[in-house]
Amino acid sequence: MTGQPVVEIRLISKHFGEGLARVDALREVSLDVFPGTVIGLRGPSGSGKSTLLNVIGCILEPNSGSMSLNGELVYSNKWLRADLRGLRLEKIGFIFQSHNLLPFLNAWENVAVARVMAGASLAQAKARALELLTYLGIERRKNAMPGELSGGEAQRIAIARALANDPRIILADEPTAALDSQRAGTVMDMLRKVATERQTAVIVVTHDEKIFDHFDHIYSLRDGAIEQPQANAA
Amino acid sequence: MNLALKDIRHNLGRFVLTCLGLSLLLGIVLAMVGIYRGLIVESLGLVRAAGAQVWVVEGDTRGPFAEPSRIPGDMRAAIATQWGVAAAGGVSYQNVEAQHRGQTKRLLVVGAQIARPGEAPRVVEGRPILRSRYEAVADRGTGLALGEQIKLGRDTFTVVGLTKDLVASGGDPVVFIALRDAQKLQFDLTPSAARRELARLSGASGAIDTVNAIVVRLLPGVDAKRFAQDIARWKHLAALTQEGQETVLARSVIDRARRQIGLFTALLLIVSTVIIGLIIYTMTIDKKKAIATLKLIGAPDRRIVGLIVQQALAMGIFSFLTGAALINAGQGFFPRRVVLEPADAAILFGVVVVACLLASALGVRTALKIDPASALAG
């Protein structure tokens, strides 16, 4: 791994509640994620992996530490940017466990919507959406509504949406939880392809052991702290 | 990309059904306003039908549309000889129930002198009254046809002419008869009652030549207000200009109806606003996950607010237009006259738009409170 990490986390802590009710969700977590890598975050329920994902996604404010995304220091004991949604739109793509496609938009519109939110015209957004659907091999389903898509197809559309604004970071929350082994493998192959070809850092929260061999590194979280990372032999 | 329209298209059936329900409510609101306008047109129509510039009535009264007014019939001749008078005619008004084709009908019977102010205006079918006995000009609202006969009191009248849209402020259709017939209808007693009355008065007979008002048409250039002031100096008479009479009618007769209809209209609008608000709130709750996803991927608040407000507006506007079309198509079936004026429709449209904006507030508040992190929860 060379170059500048796209995600650079230093001593990030986050707790919920105070006094006896205080729960330390993250304890001085530090993490670097480099472009072109796919890393996994695993751990038991309550270990802090979702909290870490929310912090990296600028959804949840930590209590202390610092965080840089794509070279920009965005948190240093406080948010340094007021427009966090703009920041997400610009730098981060999200993939969800249940794909979260908007039920009232068809496949290409679901991809284009992220681009439109970033200020692109509908024509530009559509062109980009069709390009991504072709890239992910699902252009034939461009006019299908989410209810007409299989789980694997829907997840590929969701990946396309995550890529719509060319983010350097993709955060995926259990993206294969609802898929069988074959489709889970296909989705992970696509994330690998995206990471490699677009030099995107992909961070995946997962419990799914069948996809562990798709990661460059797997970080285990326990009680809000990262245990020693395991480089993947595969 | 208009997310509001996309969502409406996705749930088109529910949207259309909701709008149909709302359109009925808004249609009723429009009908209420239309009925109120109809009430004004009808009430003033009768006053205006007399073609008067000045109404001479009993002293210290406000005329036959507001309170009882009786003056001697021969006063007409005295008024007619005043300087500036082009024509004057005595009129009487009385509510009568009559049987017609087996049904009891309530009518406003107007007694007017032939070829004098106050007689039936604009006879649209047939002819005006030419004979002083037993002829009538009826409004089409009575259901009477030309040549048909109707019994008023103890006399039978033949319909010789028809008018259109001439009803009393209470909605009763108008029948014109000659003044003499009207006086007879008002004062003639049954034979037994007449005998008793004759005995009681020891031979003296009560005068029946009274009218409720004398309507006066002035020569060109004569100031109606000044003429009315001059007449009012006569101690036993009062006089109102046409404008004054219309004001009295509007205040005393229409005002209560206006307040009643206004109250119902306001209540219906409040109900419509609450319904739109609840529907928009429900639609927002249904879209909670989609809104959380939009926020998570970075959609600005104005996009989310736009989605909610545009749907509320679409619902209100679609319902308003459907309601207006329904009432326009069905206004002939209302028991009262419905007058739909573009200005009223435009005002109501504005009120509906404001109501939609208010109604969307709850949905907007809910949407803005949705945590983007909830999109990540399975």
Q: What is the DSSP letter of B171?
A: S
Which chain B residues have a beta carbon less than 8 Å from that of A93? 297
Q: How confident is the model at residue B258 (pLDDT cuts 50, 70, 90)?
A: confident
For residue B244, give Cα distances in angstroms to B63, B121, B362: 10, 21, 49
Contact B199, B135 (CB under 8 A): no
Nearest to B147 by CA among B139, B187, B137, B323: B137
Statement: residue B14 has pLDDT above 60: yes
Q: Residues A204-215: what's their mean pLDDT?
A: 86
- pLDDT, tens digit, 9 for 90 and up, residues B102-147: 888 899 999 999 989 988 888 899 999 988 789 999 999 888 999 9
Q: Which residues of chain B does A116 touch, with a Cβ-Cβ cutoff of 8 Å?
A: 1
Stretch B241-262: mean pLDDT: 81
Percent of chain A with pLDDT over 70: 96
Best interface-test mutation with A: which of B297, B302, B304, B307 has the largest number of A CBs within 10 A?
Answer: B297
Distance CA B139, CA B150 (A): 13
Contact of B34 with B348, CB cutoff 8 Å: no
pLDDT reported for residue A228? 67
Taking CA–CA distances from A126, the nearest residue in chain B reads B1
Partner residues linked to B23 by β-bridges: none
d(CA A140, CA A133): 8
Q: CA-CA distance, B76 to B74, in Å (whole number)?
A: 5
Average pLDDT, chain A: 87
Roughly how many angstroms between the first and final C-alpha of chain A, as a whole number? 16
Least confident of A47-56, A117-126, B76-85, B256-265: B256-265
- Over range A79-95, report the average pLDDT: 86
ipTM: 0.80
Check CB contact of A50 with chain B, cutoff 8 Å: yes
Q: Quick check: helix, strand or coil at residue A14? A: strand
pTM metric for this prediction? 0.72
pLDDT, tens only, B345-358: 898 899 888 888 88
Per-window interface: B 280-309 vs A, CB < 8 A: 289-290, 293-300, 303
Give the distance, in angstroms, between the CA of residue A55 and the centroid of all CA atoms in the same chain.
11
User: Left if phi > 0, otherwise alpha if psi is -120 to 50, otherwise beta: which for A217?
Assistant: beta
Closest CA to B212 of B112, B131, B87, B119: B112
Which residue in chain A has the smallest CA separation from B9? A104
What is the pLDDT confidence band of residue A213, given thresholds at 50, 70 and 90?
confident
Per-residue pLDDT of B279-290, as tens digits, reads 888 888 888 888
Chain A CA closest to residue B373: A59
From B63, B44, B155, B53, select the one nearest B109 (Cα to Cα): B155
The answer to whether A98 faces chain B, any CB pair under 8 Å, is: yes
Question: CA B312 to CA B335: how far, in whole Å?
Answer: 33
pLDDT tens column, A136-184: 888 899 999 999 988 888 888 988 888 888 888 999 888 887 778 887 8
B4 burial type by CB count under 10 A (0-12 exposed, 13-18 middle, 19+ buried): middle
Is A89 at the interface with chain B, CB within 8 A?
Answer: yes
CATH superfamily of A7-231: P-loop containing nucleotide triphosphate hydrolases (3.40.50.300)
Percent of chain B with pLDDT over 90: 25
Reduce the secondary structure of A123-151 to three states and give it as a string: HHHHHHHHHHHHHCCCHHHCCCCHHHCCH
